[in-house]
Every structure is written in C-alpha cells, then in structure tokens.
Chain A
Amino acid sequence: MVIFMLLEIENLSVEVAGKQVLKGVDLSIDNGETHVLLGPNGAGKSTLFLTVLGFPQYKVIDGSIKFKGEDITQLSTADRVNKGIGVSFQNPPAIRGVSVENLLKLESHQEVNQPLNSRMKELAKKLKFSDEFLQRDVNFGFSGGEVKRSEILQLLAQMPDFTMFDEPDSGVDIENVELLASEIGALLDKELKHDLRKRSGLLITHLGYILNFINADKAHVLMNGKIICSGNPGEIIEDIQKNGFNGCVECAQYPS
C-alpha cells in the first residue's frame, strides 16, 4: 500500500514580483489520477503550475510541495523534472538554433549526434510532424496547433510520472483536439484499467472541448489564490457553465 500521495501540496503561499498570488493552497494527487484545475483568469492557475515546476520567479513564502514523498520545495526545476515532473506550456518561447529534434533527443536521453530513435520518429509521425519540421527551431514561427502538438511530443519523449497541461487544446482546431487528447491519454496511462494506472496529471482548461475526450477523476476551482471547491468534474463544470465562477464562491461559502 502506498503511504503517500504522488503530489502533495500543503498550505502553499507564493509571491510573484512582490505580490502574493497563492494564499494557502492544499492539493493532493494520487498515482493514476487525472485532476482538472478550473478558475477565472488571474486566479493563480499558471502560478500554481510554475511553482510546482520550481521556476525561480515564483517565491514560496509558506507551505510545501512533496513529490513521491520527498519535499521538493527547494529543488531546481531541472532536478524536479528529472524526478518525473513534466509540463506542457500554453505559450512557450521560441529558441533560435535549438531544433525540435535535438530537444527530443535530450528529453528522451539519446545521444545528440545519433539519429532520432524509432519510437520518437513514430510518435512524431503520429502527431503529424514531418522530418523537415523536426529540424526547425523550436516554437519558431509555429502555428498555435503546432506549438501544442510539439509540447505533447516533447512530453512523450520524457514520459513524466506527473504531467501538468496548461490549456493543451487552446488554439487547436477541432479535428486535432481528438489526436492531442489521445496522446495526453497515453501520458496519463488512460489505456490501462483505473487501478493499474501509475501516471497522473493536472489539466488547466477553460472547460475545453478536450474534456469530452479525457476523463478526469477530480476537479478543483482556484479563485483568488485559494482552492475554494473540489469534487466531481462533471458536476462542477456543469455548475460553472450554469452559474459562472460566482456559483463556486457561493458553494464554498455554504458547503452542502
């Protein structure tokens, strides 16, 4: 029996550029679970992601983050990632002179001077990337859809134990959402029976279309730097669609 959750965030308070954004967040995600993080713009969803990832601008002023039972609050981003955390960004920066292919090799621990291995080649093809595309500088002049598919491809190279997805379907045309969802499913062990799943994930979405293709176990609503309600994703989303996020405030004030 596992005695600790895969990810345990306790009473996390975070400051960005001198301004407190997260005010005591508690969130636990177990092995094999997929959670959804909802909330209005500016609520702190991306801040929570980037704090878990350990970007230097996000200063933890209180609380802790534990991953696989270990306190990672003080670890560097690279160290956290090498312990099994991954993320897909909404608007990643372009990096001149760094090709998608070379990045994939680093992410999947292949030698840079060796050809890309067949697993990655097949995955690239599956995500509709040509060989020429893989030679392009990462994110340089990519369309919205190309950015999202490249992010997922890079995560497939890493195969993290815990993956955070920031708006993985925004700007993606409907025919490609299904494709992305199926690969996100692969990152979350969705092809396995629930109790056999190991990998976990946390999805930020604006009630996106993507939830029609990915089953989530739990949803959380983040408002004003706090998680104000957690529960069944279907019910919470239905409620937000009906009453907006204000309904969540009321629900938090008068828990049933």
Chain B
Amino acid sequence: MVLMDVLSVRNILHDAEKAKDKKAPMGVDVTIENFTDEDLNALDVLDDFEDLSKKTKDDLLKVGVDTEENERAGSFLQVDQSNVFTNNSISNNIEIMNIGIALDKYSWLKDYMWQVVKPDADKYTAKTALREEDDGIKSGYFIRSLPNTKEVFPVQACMFISDEDVMQTAHNIIIAEENSELHLITGCATGEDISSAMHVGVSEMYLKPGSKITFTMVHNWAEQVEVRPRTGIKLGDNSTYLNNYILTSPVNSLQSYPTAYCDGVNSRAVFQSIQAGKKDSIIDVGSRVLLNGAGSAGEVISRAVSQDESKIYSRGHLAGTVPDVKGHLECHGLVLSDNSMIYAVPELEASSTNLEMSHEAAVGKIDEEEINYLTSRGISEEEAASMIVRGFLSIDITGLPEELTNTTQKMIDMSVEGM
C-alpha cells in the first residue's frame, strides 16, 4: 500500500469512528447493537443460480430478480453478508463482481469509495465503513459498463436477508463509463419467517460524460426489518440518470434520501417512486437533486398511499445553484385509513438567477366522484377504490429500452396488484 492509500484509509476510519453514534437527521433511530454482524463467507457459494429453493426463487422474482436470467445481462446475489452468486459472463459490455474482488483487481477503484456518500454521514454509513476497514468485510457489488457500449438488458442485483437478527451491510459502486448505457434491476427481500433484521446499503454511482444509468429498485422486506439505504449519484457532462423505486410491502422502518449531484453540463436526473405504507411501517423516502451544472435538469415524482397505521414521509429537494437549470417536483399522496399519515415535504432552493423550478404536492383521500363514476359503470365500490389506488400508483416508465419497459411495468403491476 502506498502512503496516500494508508492515509486515506486512516481518514475513513477516523471519520467513521467519530460518527459511529451519530443519529441520522431523519427517520427513526435504530439501535444497531440489537443486530448481529455476520462473517463475509459464512454462506457457501452457489454453483448454479437455480439451486435456490422454489420459495426463495419466487421471493426473488417478486423483486424483479429472475434466477433463470431471461433477458438479463448478468447477476449478483448477496445473502446476509456473503456474495453467494455472481454471473459476469453473459455480457461483454458489463463487469459485475464483489466489491472486495474489484478493489483487488483495480487499484483505481479506491478513488471511487466514499466520494458521494460520506463515512461520517451517520452511524449507518459509519458502521458500513468500520466493517469494511476494521473487519475487512468487503460486501456489496461493483458494476461497470465499459466505454461506448449499450447493453439493452439489465443487470440484476439482489440483497437478501436469510437469518434472524442479521445486520446486513453492503457497499456498492456503479460506474457507467463514457458514452455507455447501463440498466440495473435491484431487488431486496427477506426470507421466510425473518421477524427482525437490518439492512444498510451504501451505493455510490458515477456517470461519465454521455452515459446513462437506469436504476430500478423493488423492496420487499418483512414487517420487522429496519432499512437504511444511503445513495449518492455523481453525473458528468450530458449524462442521464433514471431512478425507479417501488415499495409496497410492510417494513418496520425505512429511511433513505438518495442525492444526485448534477455537476455535468446538461446532465439530468429523474427519480420516480411508489410507496405504499402498510401495517405499522414508518417510511421516510425522499429524493434530492443538486443542479450544479449549466443546463442540468432534475425531476422528482412520488406517489404515496398510506394504509393501516402506517406513516409516510415523502420528501423531495431540488437545489439550483447555477443559471439555466430546470427542476420539477411532484408529491402526491392518498391517505386510505384514519390511523395512517402522509407528510409531504417538497423543497425548492434557488441560489442563482434565471432558473426554473416548480413543485406540486397534493395529499388527500380517494375522490368520491371517481368512485361514483366507476360504480356507475357497474363496478363495485370496493373494486372501484382499488382500481383508483392502483391507477394512482401506476407511474409511466419512460426512458428504458423497450425490453425493459415491459419487465419494469410488470414488476410495478405485480407490486401494486395486491393493493
């Protein structure tokens, strides 16, 4: 290790150590110590993706991960802390591997670690950094699209929790090289009978000039799981980032606030999210776009539905720091039960002249007039309400290749079907 690297690791450790008790500014505070750290290779590697149990395969399929790998450009599966399956051989355009292996293979990769997510952001990022540097737990994936390639099929990555009380950490680095296109489907789920677990996923994404990443994430956690994804995205000139996030299953608490840094000229970030709160779930999801590059644009669209005793905080933040940028924020919520709550927080921040930013937010109940209209066509009141909710949650998937549009639409339909 050269001196600079030693210093850099020391800085990360130093920052993480200081922040290990630092509460996150948002979301319920989770006692990390209640969960058990797992070893890096506690679980055996799978020879074949199909070796998983039927039940697990079905669980994965629900979050968009197909063990038959139909129309997929590659796969990555992490169970608890172990990388149990990687398929890097389907596409020549894309590299997929465990982050530890990637760090050994590419000496330059360390320069991408902890750049858009900081180790001292809160105790969850600190925990991930300490696990990585102190305990040598290099979990998570490295996915890279090679320069000037356009792989139309998506890479699928899955984080799965299989054991009770597990603390799962992952540090993912995604790089789209110049003029390349990369599509990702990431699914997260828990196995049968897991009543309590925690997931912390640090994801850092880098879009080089002229590149494009689409990132579609489906979460299907269990009722007592704590989830704290930490995501940062850095966009180069003329790059495009599209994010679709879908959560329709109960969870104990989930808090995330991915941030896109549109530093590049004419870069563009779009976040679309669907959240359905069920049971006692406390969901706090936002998306932030910092418009720092001339001509950059950001769009944040969210649809939230609260049922049972759930609470949903739906946030959005656009900040324009240079002239000639554009941003739009849309937060819509439907409150379906008297004991549930939606708190919409749209924020616009303009610190330059000549920029264009707008937001619309609306939270309410199902419009009675819409129910009446559907019942007047012979549809029962219950079915009408459910059609309206499903319709409300269906967002237009644009900007994906045709093959992926259908898959993604199906994933959304499947998630929303039970509503």
A97 touches B392 (CB 8 A): yes
A236 to B391, CA, bound (A): 46
Alpha-carbon separation in the docked complex, A45 to B388 (Å): 28
Residues of chain B contacted by A93 (CB below 8 angstroms): 367, 369-370, 373
* Distance from A221 Cβ to chain B, minimum over Cβ atoms (Å): 25
Task: Name the contact of B388 in the complex, choosing from A77, A78, A98 (C-beta under 8 A).
Answer: A98
Q: How far is the CA of A234 from the CA of B405 in the complex (A)?
A: 57
In the complex, chain A residues whose CB is within 8 Å of the CB of B372: 55-56, 77
Alpha-carbon distance A57/B368, docked complex (angstroms) = 10
Residue ID in chain B nearest A57 by CB atoms: B368
Q: A95, B388: Cβ atoms under 8 Å? A: yes
Please measure, in the bound complex, the distance between the C-alpha atom of A154 and the C-alpha atom of B390, giving whole angstroms. Answer: 21
Given contacts A92-B373, A95-B374, contact A78 B392 (CB under 8 A): no
| B397 contacts A by Cβ under 8 Å | no
Residue A81 is within 8 A (CB to CB) of chain B in the complex = yes
Contacts of B394 in A (CB 8 A): 96-97
Contact check, A107 vs B378: say whether CB atoms are below 8 A apart.
yes
| B381 interfacial contact with A, CB 8 Å | yes
Chain A hits for B378, CB < 8 A: 78, 81-82, 106-107, 158
B360 to chain A, nearest CB (A): 13
Interface size on A (CB < 8 Å)?
24
In Å, the complex CA distance between A93 and B369 comes to: 7
A97 to B376, CA, bound (A): 18
In the bound complex, what is the Cα–Cα distance between A87 and B368 (angstroms)? 17
Q: Is the CB of A81 within 8 A of B376?
A: yes
A146 at the interface (CB under 8 A from B): no
In the complex, A180 Cα to B367 Cα: how many Å?
Answer: 29
Residue B337 lies at the interface, judged by CB distance under 8 Å to chain A: no
Q: A76-B381, A96-B392, A97-B390 are in contact. Are A53 and B369 (CB under 8 A)?
A: no
Question: What is the minimal beta-carbon distance from B398 to any residue of chain A, in angstroms?
Answer: 14
Whether B162 sits at the interface, judged by CB under 8 Å, is no
> Is A15's CB within 8 Å of the partner chain B?
no
Closest to A55 in B: B372
CA of A98 to CA of B376 in the docked complex: distance in angstroms?
15
* A 63-108 contacts with B by CB, 8 A: 76-78, 81-82, 86-87, 89, 92-93, 95-98, 103, 106-107
A98 to B390, CA, bound (A): 8
In the complex the two chains form, is A98's CB within 8 Å of B367's CB? no
Any chain B CB within 8 A of the CB of A137? yes
- Residues 354-380 of B at the A interface (beta carbon under 8 Å): 367-370, 372-380
On whether A95 and B375 interact (CB within 8 A), knowing A76-B381, A78-B381, the answer reads no
B370 touches A81 (CB 8 A): no
Asked if A106 and B370 make an inter-chain contact with CB atoms under 8 angstroms apart, the answer reads: no
Q: How far is the CA of A106 from the CA of B394 in the complex (A)?
A: 19
* A76 x B375 contact (CB < 8 A): yes
Q: Is the CB of B379 within 8 A of A106?
A: yes
Closest partner residue, chain B, to A77 (CB atom): B375
Select from chain B the residue with minimum beta-carbon distance to A139: B373
Task: Check if B391 sits within 8 Å of A78, measured CB to CB.
Answer: no
Partner of B380, one of A78, A92, A95, A154: A78
Are B375 and A96 in touch, CB under 8 angstroms?
no
Distance in angstroms between the alpha carbons of A89 and B369 in the assembled complex: 12
B2 CB, min distance to chain A CBs, angstroms: 56
Question: Which residues of the other chain, B, contact A82 by a CB distance below 8 angstroms?
Answer: 378
Q: Is the CB of B373 within 8 A of A78?
A: no
How far does the Cβ of B194 sit from chain A's closest Cβ, in whole Å? Answer: 32
Q: What residues on B are CB-neighbors of A137 within 8 Å?
A: 391
Q: Are A77 and B376 interface neighbours, CB within 8 A?
A: yes
The CA-CA distance from A87 to B367 in the complex, in Å, is 19
Query: With A76-B381, A78-B381 given, is the CB distance from A95 to B376 under 8 Å?
Result: no
Q: Beyond A81-B375, A93-B367, A106-B378: 18 further Cβ-contacts under 8 Å?
A: A53-B376, A76-B375, A77-B372, A77-B375, A78-B375, A81-B376, A81-B378, A86-B376, A87-B376, A89-B376, A93-B369, A95-B388, A97-B393, A98-B391, A106-B379, A137-B391, A154-B377, A158-B377
17 pairs from A and B in contact (CB 8 Å cutoff): A53-B376, A78-B378, A82-B378, A86-B376, A89-B376, A93-B367, A93-B370, A95-B370, A95-B388, A96-B392, A97-B390, A97-B391, A103-B377, A106-B379, A107-B378, A158-B377, A158-B378
A: residues with CB less than 8 A from B are 53, 55-57, 76-78, 81-82, 86-87, 89, 92-93, 95-98, 103, 106-107, 137, 154, 158
